[in-house]
Structure 1
Amino acid sequence: MGNNLTLTDQLQKYFGFDRFKGQQEEVIKSVLEGNDTFVLMPTGGGKSLCYQLPALMMEGTAIIISPLIALMKNQVDSIRSFGTDDGIAHFLNSSLSKHAVQQVKEDVSSGLTKLLYVAPESLTKQENVDFLKSVKISFYAIDEAHCISEWGHDFRPEYRRIRPIIQDIGQAPLIALTATATAKVQHDIQKNLGMLEANVFKASFNRPNLYYSIRPKAKPEQQIIRFIKENEGKSGIIYCLSRKKVEELAELLNVNGINALPYHAGMDSATRSGNQDKFLMEKVDVIVATIAFGMGIDKPDVRFVIHYDIPKSLEGYYQETGRAGRDGGEGQCIAFYSYKDIQKLEKFMQGKPVAEQEIGRQLLLDTASYAESAICRRIILLNYFGETMEEPCGNCDNCLNPKEQIEASDEVQRALVAIQEVKEKYKAEHISDILTGRVTAAIKSFHHDELKTFKTGDDHSHHFWNAVFRQSMIAGLISKDIENYGLLKLMPKGLAFIEKPEPFMLVRNHNYAELEEEYNNVSGPTSGSAGDPELFGQLKDLRKKVSKKLNLPPFVIFQDPSLTDMSIQYPITIEELKHIQGVGDGKARRYGKEFVALIKNYVDDNDIERAQDMVVKTVANKSKSKVEIIQAIDRKMSLEDIADSKSIAMSDLISEIEAIVNSGTRINIDYYINEVLDEDHQDEVFDYFREAEEDSVQAALDELGEDEYSEEEIRLMRIKFMSEMGN
């Protein structure tokens, strides 16, 4: 008991706290007694204290191995603020000058330094190993230990080399700490560090104050802006996968009057740490970041964490959402999910070593099943980390808005039989075509319209069958071969299901693709009609009239999304019309007069209040890039060269050109098209669009034959058509 008293006294003396949190005290005792110790403590549980306090109490210097330079600096500053002498804590990493390194070594050798933070890269340098051999080491602490495991969400190969280096420097107890680890990752860490006998301390992963929700990724920017405006003044973090998206989104938020800053590894470190400090000091409400951000960010009152892109693993997701509500107050965790994002992440894995692909694919599957499930989110998350929870939590979207489920064993069986019939050699898209009876060029050329399963699923939509494939994959009935273009393969469980179907509940509402289409045609989460259905109808009639008069297909005048946007924003002047999605200066002037007149009358007749402030303003800097593209095309530069010079993919360049043409600017890319398509083919596509009801590329491919034309060729011809006919 006497010892106990002194432990709390020590805590008071060094850190000014009068009591320990959770299992901190037991962990610290384990370290003081010289045992190897493994600590699994969710974010906000006070992990760092578990090695800081024993380091201050014990004889010698504790070596803290940590992957993040910014984090080391924060921790060193915070420990120095508790003590009197700056030498008590140091870090050793690549950011230090020769002179600074010398100072660190002197303080360590003289016994002044109690905690020495080292990056794993610095630990491998022979001069550092030689120096540490001469030091009395109290223990080694390995922070962010999940970096050791290939199954962890942030694997770093250099972490695998920690054990042999420690052996070389000299034996001392080990303490490994992480905020997220599945049973597999935990075992991996202990095995790699040679600490299978360690004392293990595992805190619960349940954070009852966090609200988990998944939303369809449709107009995510608008949803985010609306959410932040409803939560004004609260601190939040938005995670994106790419640096480019971080920059764009931060800029878009600022244009819409939201105080936000970007944060990613590509920025220079002064700007980056400046932005982090502004967030901590509440000079800015929102940080838009890649996952490089927030490691060890100790801001207790982050009120929301939004994932613009679904993360690559549930561990990553848990770690990032864990930055919300550390003070026990409200924390909303919202992730935008589109199955397309999962496919994009799968594409990135192509060409990586097979073992890495296997792991990556499994982690993605777990993420997709979490997103698409109808079960309480918290039950799934805790189960993933090996914890059971009996009752649904009542604080997630699935508990508060239960999703509709339907019994679909018959449909699942039909889908599996179709996969079997084509000998597991085709992708989901193609098998959906077989089931729904769509006669595409590919179906024709493989004679798949003669199969038994052809058209056996025409009672459902394409989207429905894609949902069946995804949920069958999640249930382990089929798998997707990423190496081979995503061919669907039957698993033993799937073969058994064909012979003897079992009940299968399909989550109905999670037909994300349909939801996305619905969302994309409206503003935010309203019903399936466009903003104002009556006005939308009138605008469509007017478009028909104009198209007859000018003898042009309706989509050349304004596309549907533009009419939808008009029925939401009610533009009543040509100036306002220019801001409507896909309109722009040229179209507004050429066709706009009758449309704004109609809208003005409608607004007056129906006493409509126009909420002009809810217009999501777009970022104007795109115009510079557009001007450069137009100039390059005027100089007849090849499109490949333009794409290279802007370092974007060809398909993204075509999207940019489409946007330019759709908003009414005339562009001539004949010089390029003449190189890729002969005259007859050009005429065929041009005539197709002249007669077409809609401007869909897929419909054109179906009609003209996918073996005849590529998607790129059709898109280029559509640009030519829109430019010549409409502009």
Structure 2
Amino acid sequence: MSIPAQSLHSASLESALKHFFGHECFRFEQRPIIERVLKNKDVLVVMPTGGGKSLCYQLPALLRAGVTIVVSPLIALMQDQVTALKDNGVNATFLNSTLAIDEARSRQSALLAGDIKLLYVAPERLFTPSFLDFLGQLGQKVGISTFAIDEAHCVSEWGHDFRPDYRQLFQLKQRYPQIPIIALTATATQRVRTDIVQQLRLADPEVYVSSFNRQNLYYEVSQKSKQPYAQLLQTIKQHQDTEGSGIIYCLSRKRVNEVAAQLQQDGIVALPYHAGLSAEEREANQTKFIRDDIQIIVATIAFGMGINKPDVRFVIHYDLPRNLESYYQEAGRAGRDGEAARCTIFFSWGDVHTVKYLISQKTDPDEQRIAQQQLSQIINYSESSVCRRKIQLGYFGEPFEAPCDNCDNCLNPAPIENWTVEAQKFLSCIYRCGQRFGMNHVIDVLRGSRKKRILELSHDQLSTYGIGADRSADEWRLLCRALIHQGYLDETTDGYSVLKLNADSNRVLKKQVSVEIPVSQRVTALDIAEPTASTRKAASVELTPTDSSLMSQLRSLRKKLADEQSVPPYIVFSDASLRQMAQNKPQTLAAFSKISGVGNRKLTQYGEEFTQTIHQFCQANGLEVEAAEEAIAPIPKPTIETEITATQLTTYELYQSGLSLPEIALKRNVRLSTINGHMAKLIETGYQVALDKLVSVERQSVINRAIAEVGPHSLRNIREAVGETYDYQEITLVRAAWEAKHSEPPK
């Protein structure tokens, strides 16, 4: 049944978090999001990669009756999520085209039996007639608690990865208006957020937007040299002394194959990934990458979305990214574990011409216009001397005070010059042109161009015509970009890139503020600013040589256990968890349970082997050693009580102590539906239970009227009489009270 918000005390959510996922506390705004989902409210969550979006629907799914349906765009993404959940002891599954018919039927049977809490499906499958019939059965027999729409930006044509199938998801609200929806994405501008809410028909949703600032990522742009492969090889070698993996993005399949082959010739283990490979080869290469069998994947943008590999230490764009939003998403595949990572763009005007050609092949003029504006934005980012982080965050509408101390522009800043007079000229020209044109037109007017368009509009008659002839077009572009980044000028985002004045523009024109801009283009091919330990925004502390040695052993153990289970190593434990083990050296199960990422399931599954390895390492290195028998003592398996009366009585004692039903389920490590069944039996046999606190009086009245009408014998008949807004859990409790009231007294 639905959990009343007041029954979820502060400690209960944290204890559930530790129990299922091994974490001590929530991150970002996870807690208020989860609380809102538990209240059956619609939510839109915009949270950066690695911020823990999935937890926002996974934890509520485990605390509520029924199944949570997760709409996921990629097979690799849903398989990865399900594998991770199962390793945490959570019953989850997916239904997709990779399954044989018998396997799919078996999973459907498990769902209808109430054995599964989360079901992952693709949007293409969701509204097929056969799946809609199955959803109807699932809703009747088990109940659907929530719809979670992952990668929700795919619903918007203004998003970076629009998918037409996502446009059909509005039908969820039409068909199931009483079931809440949580939509989640890592990147969405204000325009995309508004579009998501409208397209999904979310009902009065709360929109949670976490900071887009990935502090652990170092951003840089390098001018692509005439020998770009040599430049790439040198950049990769800078990372060879660090553990972890790398992704290299290229524009074309041909370039992917060439780069991967050259890296292999130079002794670097790398494989290609693009749509031109067979499905089997793509899957094999991706699997080798996520399981740490290879270090580097060279790919087109076909690779990446939903790849939950946390230890990617660098992402290199060998060619220019498509747009700023795509770049944020693709670069964000680095450092998902919160550790320091590096994101590099190789920039050249040759790549710009290639992208322009690709844009010209689009048949829709509107698509061409939007793509051209997006290209201009990524060029501005690449050429700018302004803090990279400030530009990225500004794109998403998030203010940021530079310097960030973790990008090339902040670590090696360009000289600052006062360009207030030039700024006044530029803003005045925008005003004289009627605020109806883009940057290039304004620059043409300032520099006195005789282009046909200028003459046709009589802009050669404006007072600002020709007053900027002393500056080059590149210098004026530099100023324009700086004015936008500093908030002194706005640019429309509808694909036309029209410049607009704002309140701060007037402050410049009235000489109330001065405009200072970085003016030097400093980026060179092989002279790259190196982030120092003090400036990297890493979440971890440097390991000592001894800790690093233990970390290496723990990595080997993790890889062995992962290979035995045919799962990626990070499914066993993240690098962050291994680092904490290397630093704290837990040798007992009690100490091991305190490591972040160690929940009850992982404690049982991996505790002995990891504590034994740590214990033996401490012995071999003369470190403090815990008692060996304590360090590797077997974990007692939970016993299953065979006497029903005894287990029901235990539940009743916990209920009398003031615990809510979800808290009892957590404490006893059983399903909420099991505890609900205990309570129904207790009510039926006459124990004192405050039913009004479990089911509202109004809902009791409706259920009681239905029982009087159809009889108490069939839960399904009662459910059909009351409607889909009532779940089987609350019907079971009310029916138990009805049975107690109407049963014959003992003779």
TM-score interval, smaller chain: 0.5 to 0.7
Alignment partner of 1:141 out of 148, 153, 165: 148
State the match for 1:69 in structure 2.
75
- Cα RMSD of the aligned pairs, angstroms, is 4.6
Name the CA shift for 1:489/1:209 in 2 (closer, same or farther; >3 Å): closer
Contact 2:71/2:120 (<8 A) preserved: yes
Name the CA shift for 1:387/1:408 in 2 (closer, same or farther; >3 Å): closer
Question: Does residue 82 of the first structure (1) align with residue 88 of the second (2)?
Answer: yes
Alignment partner of 1:98 out of 98, 101, 106: 101
Q: Across the two proteins, how many residue pairs are aligned to each other?
A: 503
Cα deviation 1:67-118 (Å, max 9, x = unaligned):
111111111222223338xxx3222223333333322332222222221111
Contact 1:253/1:259 (<8 A) preserved: yes
Under a length normalisation based on structure 2, what TM-score does the superposition of the two structures give?
A: 0.57
Q: CA deviation at 1:43?
A: 0.8
Unaligned runs of 5+ in 1: 438-452, 527-727
Q: CA deviation at 1:435?
A: 7.6
Name the CA shift for 1:417/1:202 in 2 (closer, same or farther; >3 Å): closer
- What is the correspondence of 1:476-487 to structure 2 with a 5 Å cutoff? none
Unaligned runs of 5+ in 2: 1-6, 450-463, 529-747
State the match for 1:619 in structure 2.
none
- What is the correspondence of 1:282-301 to structure 2 with a 5 Å cutoff? 282-301=292-311
- What is the correspondence of 1:419-458 to structure 2 with a 5 Å cutoff? none
Question: Does residue 6 of the first structure (1) align with residue 17 of the second (2)?
Answer: no
Name the CA shift for 1:217/1:413 in 2 (closer, same or farther; >3 Å): farther
- What is the correspondence of 1:487-502 to structure 2 with a 5 Å cutoff? none
- What is the correspondence of 1:392-541 to structure 2 with a 5 Å cutoff? 392-404=403-415, 508-510=519-521, 524-525=526-527
Contact 2:77/2:308 (<8 A) preserved: no
Alignment partner of 1:250 out of 260, 266, 286: 260
Match for 2:210: what amino acid?
A
Contact 1:210/1:324 (<8 A) preserved: yes
Question: Does residue 117 of the first structure (1) align with residue 117 of the second (2)?
Answer: no
Match for 1:91: what amino acid?
F
Contact 2:439/2:477 (<8 A) preserved: no
Mean CA deviation greater in 242-251 or 359-368: 359-368
Contact 2:173/2:202 (<8 A) preserved: no
Q: CA deviation at 1:510?
A: 3.0
Alignment partner of 2:334 out of 316, 324, 328: 324
Q: CA deviation at 1:200?
A: 2.5
State the match for 2:194 in structure 1.
187
Cα deviation 1:527-564 (Å, max 9, x = unaligned):
xxxxxxxxxxxxxxxxxxxxxxxxxxxxxxxxxxxxxx
Name the CA shift for 1:223/1:99 in 2 (closer, same or farther; >3 Å): same
Name the CA shift for 1:32/1:508 in 2 (closer, same or farther; >3 Å): same
State the match for 1:21 in structure 2.
27
Q: State the distance in 2 between where 1:489 and 1:179 align.
A: 28
Cα deviation 1:367-397 (Å, max 9, x = unaligned):
2222222222222222222222234212211
Q: State the distance in 1 between where 2:81 and 2:209 align.
A: 23
Name the CA shift for 1:436/1:359 in 2 (closer, same or farther; >3 Å): closer
Contact 1:130/1:169 (<8 A) preserved: no
Name the CA shift for 1:97/1:214 in 2 (closer, same or farther; >3 Å): same
Cα deviation 1:425-447 (Å, max 9, x = unaligned):
99989x99x9899xxxxxxxxxx
Cα deviation 1:353-373 (Å, max 9, x = unaligned):
333334333333332222222
Q: CA deviation at 1:121?
A: 1.0
Match for 2:373: what amino acid?
Q
Alignment partner of 2:110 out of 107, 123, 139: 107
State the match for 1:51 in structure 2.
57
Contact 1:107/1:113 (<8 A) preserved: yes
Contact 1:436/1:460 (<8 A) preserved: no
Q: State the distance in 2 between where 1:231 and 1:411 align.
A: 43
- SS of equivalent to 1:135: helix
Match for 2:174: what amino acid?
Q
- What is the correspondence of 1:199-238 to structure 2 with a 5 Å cutoff? 199-219=206-226, 220-234=228-242, 235-238=245-248
Q: State the distance in 2 between where 1:349 and 1:270 align.
A: 31
Match for 1:81: what amino acid?
D
Question: Does residue 39 of the first structure (1) align with residue 45 of the second (2)?
Answer: yes
Mean CA deviation greater in 501-510 or 380-389: 501-510
Alignment partner of 2:130 out of 122, 127, 130: 127
Q: CA deviation at 1:16?
A: 3.6
Q: State the distance in 2 between where 1:395 and 1:163 align.
A: 41
Cα deviation 1:569-618 (Å, max 9, x = unaligned):
xxxxxxxxxxxxxxxxxxxxxxxxxxxxxxxxxxxxxxxxxxxxxxxxxx
Question: Does residue 365 of the first structure (1) align with residue 376 of the second (2)?
Answer: yes
- SS of equivalent to 1:151: coil
Alignment partner of 1:385 out of 383, 396, 407: 396
Name the CA shift for 1:242/1:478 in 2 (closer, same or farther; >3 Å): farther
Name the CA shift for 1:415/1:8 in 2 (closer, same or farther; >3 Å): closer
- SS of equivalent to 1:175: strand
Q: CA deviation at 1:165?
A: 4.5
Q: What is the identity percentage for the equivalent residue pairs of Structure 1 and Structure 2?
A: 45
Name the CA shift for 1:2/1:72 in 2 (closer, same or farther; >3 Å): closer
Q: CA deviation at 1:63?
A: 1.0
Name the CA shift for 1:403/1:239 in 2 (closer, same or farther; >3 Å): same
State the match for 2:745 in structure 1.
none
Q: CA deviation at 1:61?
A: 1.5
Q: State the distance in 2 between where 1:31 and 1:456 align.
A: 59
Q: CA deviation at 1:455?
A: 12
Contact 1:123/1:165 (<8 A) preserved: no
Alignment partner of 2:313 out of 261, 279, 303: 303
Contact 1:309/1:341 (<8 A) preserved: yes
Under a length normalisation based on structure 1, what TM-score does the superposition of the two structures give?
A: 0.59
Q: State the distance in 1 between where 2:17 and 2:481 align.
A: 52
1 or 2 for the larger relative contact order (CA 8 Å, sep ≥6)?
2
Cα deviation 1:485-540 (Å, max 9, x = unaligned):
x9x999899xx99xx999876754338xxx7xxx6xxx8449xxxxxxxxxxxxxx
Match for 1:52: what amino acid?
Q
Q: State the distance in 2 between where 1:393 and 1:256 align.
A: 35
Name the CA shift for 1:417/1:233 in 2 (closer, same or farther; >3 Å): same
Q: State the distance in 2 between where 1:411 and 1:297 align.
A: 47
Q: State the distance in 2 between where 1:328 and 1:425 align.
A: 42
Q: State the distance in 2 between where 1:425 and 1:111 align.
A: 60
Contact 2:150/2:183 (<8 A) preserved: yes
Q: State the distance in 1 between where 2:26 and 2:249 align.
A: 32
- SS of equivalent to 1:134: helix
Cα deviation 1:45-83 (Å, max 9, x = unaligned):
111122122223322221100111111111122222333
Q: CA deviation at 1:324?
A: 2.0
Q: State the distance in 1 between where 2:469 and 2:157 align.
A: 43
Q: State the distance in 2 between where 1:477 and 1:6 align.
A: 49
Name the CA shift for 1:292/1:233 in 2 (closer, same or farther; >3 Å): farther
Q: CA deviation at 1:163?
A: 1.0
Name the CA shift for 1:230/1:29 in 2 (closer, same or farther; >3 Å): same
Question: Does residue 277 of the first structure (1) align with residue 280 of the second (2)?
Answer: no
Q: State the distance in 1 between where 2:43 and 2:252 align.
A: 36
Match for 1:224: what amino acid?
L
